[in-house]
Amino acid sequence: MVGGIVAVAAAAALFASTRPTPTWSSTTPEGTVQAYLAAVLDGDMEKAAGYLSPESMCDVHDLDTMGFVHTARADLVGTTIEGERARVDVDLALTSDGPFDTLPTENHTFRLARSGERWLLVGQPWPLYDCGGDTK
């Protein structure tokens, strides 16, 4: 019985790690968050900063100084759009270089504002927590 449970768990893990990643249009809030996260995780902070709204307190300098981010997977939880504002909730399964590697999944909310045909991130989106305060 234990062997069966282990086999089912292994199959589920394999399926989860090989399932295709959906791609959202860059003109949607989900697509903006997806592109921003991809740029951050690729270490392309210049590109990631291009998804930040001018009304955000954050800029490329904040992204450059945040350090390296590891992650295993980002999963869309849900999106709420109200007029020119949107909220995208994402579960991030983070990893580290430690002996047990996977950390607990974290839920993060990304807030966006429409800018013409695009959606841009406002506030301090993950992985940023302090973007210069009132000095900008």
The number of folded domains in the chain is 1
Task: Determine the structural domain holding residue 120 and report its residue range.
Answer: 26-135
Per-residue pLDDT for 7 more than 60? no
Tell me the whole-structure pTM to 2 decimals.
0.77
What pLDDT is stored for residue 21 in this prediction? 66
Under the banding of pLDDT at 50, 70 and 90, the label for residue 65 is confident
Identify the H or E element spanning 124: none
CATH code of 122's domain: 3.10.450.50
Question: Using the 8-state DSSP alphabet, how is residue 72 labeled?
Answer: S
Please indicate whether residue 99 or residue 76 has the higher confidence score (pLDDT): 76
3-state helix, strand, coil in the chain (%, to 5): 30, 30, 40
Other Cβ atoms closer than 10 A to 48: 25
Residue 20 domain-assigned (yes or no): no
Q: What was the pLDDT predicted at 100? A: 62
Q: Where are the alpha helices (DSSP H) in the chain?
A: 2-18, 29-42, 45-49, 60-64
Q: Is the pLDDT of residue 116 over 50?
A: yes
The pair of three-digit structure tokens given for residue 108, joined into one six-digit string = 């993060």
Question: Is 8 among the domain residues?
Answer: no
Structural domain contains residue 3: no
Q: Does some domain include residue 34?
A: yes
What's the average model confidence in pLDDT over 4-21? 50
